[in-house]
Amino acid sequence: MNQILLLGGSGILGSEVLRLIVLEGHDHVAPTSTDLDIGDKKELFKFISNLKPSWIINCAAWTNVDSAETSFKEAREINSIAVGNLGTAAGLFGCKVIHISTDYVFDGESSKPYDESSPVKPVNKYGESKLQGENFLLLAAPDSYVIRTSWLYGTSGKNFMKTIAGKAIKNEEARVVNDQIGSPTSARDLAGAIISIVNNEPKPGIYNYSNEGSCSWFEIAQRIYERVGANPALVSPISSDSLNLIANRPRYSLLSKEKWKSSGLAMVPRWEDSLDLMLPEIVAELS
């Protein structure tokens, strides 16, 4: 039976992958970052050589976009070097890898959805570290799968949907940027997408996966307010510049899902439908 090694199983995405792996009855091992620090090359090789899993699903990452600007070395150790090491170990011990990457590999200057072969040009250090990770992995283990996703949310961990839902249920005002266009991705949908790769083994390579449709963070916030019964007028639009964030963000990062859809893998639900489905759970978590 296929055994899955899941890395980052406590995160927003990893916890949904773990839930699904358990639900579908896959044989699996999901070490915490204390059990296995993927930045420790020796430990990583030892772990993989002992286990020799059929699949490695890597949801582990340095995900703090702003702190990657000031701690690039540390971010790169997890997002780039460890991912390359993972590829080398996978190659040595015959494991297939599914690795998660980001829309932040793009500069956001496009006016049409990015496909898998669109030119990459990160505008921040996090994106740079993730792009290096993709490259290092595909160099070491060319038959790997890289899934680029965007604006992830789920019931666990800190994320935009949770923050806004928290304000909405307290009828508080929210100021939200309206000049970044992309698509949110339900971690539950993406977990299904990842497991559909395990179950179907499509052609290896890079795939985009986010929810269908396009919106700004402001529009998402308005929908959350509506859905929880709060007044959407409490949400006001602001520009990204007014936030004075440390890291730049791409202004446009919509991902084309044409390749994914033509591969006969898991469905790509619309962002509104997936958000509506998960919102009651997010709200329940808050109370």
Ligand X SMILES: NC(=O)c1ccc[n+]([C@@H]2O[C@H](COP(=O)([O-])OP(=O)(O)OC[C@H]3O[C@@H](n4cnc5c(N)ncnc54)[C@H](OP(=O)(O)O)[C@@H]3O)[C@@H](O)[C@H]2O)c1
Catalytic residues: 126
User: Closest approach of Cβ 18 to ligand X, in Å?
Assistant: 10
User: Closest approach of Cβ 36 to ligand X, in Å?
Assistant: 6
Q: What are the angstrom distances between the C-alpha of 39 and each of 19, 33, 42, 73, 243?
A: 25, 10, 9, 12, 32
* 8 contributes a contact to ligand X by CB under 6 A: yes
Q: Which of 60, 86, 195, 254 binds ligand X (CB under 6 A)?
A: 60
Alpha carbons 77 and 73: distance in angstroms, whole number: 6
Q: Which of 20, 29, 37, 212 binds ligand X (CB under 6 A)?
A: 37
* 208 contributes a contact to ligand X by CB under 6 A: no
* 214 contributes a contact to ligand X by CB under 6 A: no
Q: Which residues contact 135 (CB under 8 A, 6 or more apart)?
A: none
Residue number, 61 or 137, with CB nearest to ligand X? 61
φ, ψ of residue 2 to 5 degrees: the values are -60, 130
* 32 contributes a contact to ligand X by CB under 6 A: yes
Query: Is the distance from CB of 2 to CB of 54 less than 8 angstroms?
Result: yes
Residue number, 96 or 130, with CB nearest to ligand X? 130
Q: Which of 80, 85, 88, 102 binds ligand X (CB under 6 A)?
A: 102
Residue number, 46 or 171, with CB nearest to ligand X? 46
User: Closest approach of Cβ 14 to ligand X, in Å?
Assistant: 5
Contact stretch for ligand X (CB under 6 A) within 35-43, 46-54, 137-145, 241-249 = 35-43
φ, ψ of residue 166 to 5 degrees: the values are -60, -40
3-state SS of 65-122 is CCHHHHCHHHHHHHHHHHHHHHHHHHHHHCCEEEEEEEHHHCCCCCCCCECCCCCCCC
Alpha carbons 257 and 106: distance in angstroms, whole number: 15
Q: Which of 45, 91, 110, 157 binds ligand X (CB under 6 A)?
A: 157
Query: Is the distance from CB of 103 to CB of 126 less than 8 angstroms?
Result: no
Query: Is the distance from CB of 144 to CB of 155 less than 8 angstroms?
Result: no
* 151 contributes a contact to ligand X by CB under 6 A: yes
Q: Which of 85, 88, 149, 186 binds ligand X (CB under 6 A)?
A: 149
Q: Which residue is nearest to ligand X (CB)?
A: 11
Q: Which of 19, 20, 29, 33 binds ligand X (CB under 6 A)?
A: 33
Q: Is 200 helix (H, G, I), strand (E, B) or coil?
A: helix
* 63 contributes a contact to ligand X by CB under 6 A: yes
Residue number, 232 or 256, with CB nearest to ligand X? 256
Q: Which of 30, 38, 137, 228 binds ligand X (CB under 6 A)?
A: 38
Q: Is 257 helix (H, G, I), strand (E, B) or coil?
A: coil
Place of tokens 């994914």: 260
User: What is the binding site for ligand X (CB under 6 A)?
Assistant: 7-8, 10-14, 32-33, 37-39, 59-61, 63, 78, 100, 102, 130, 149-152, 157
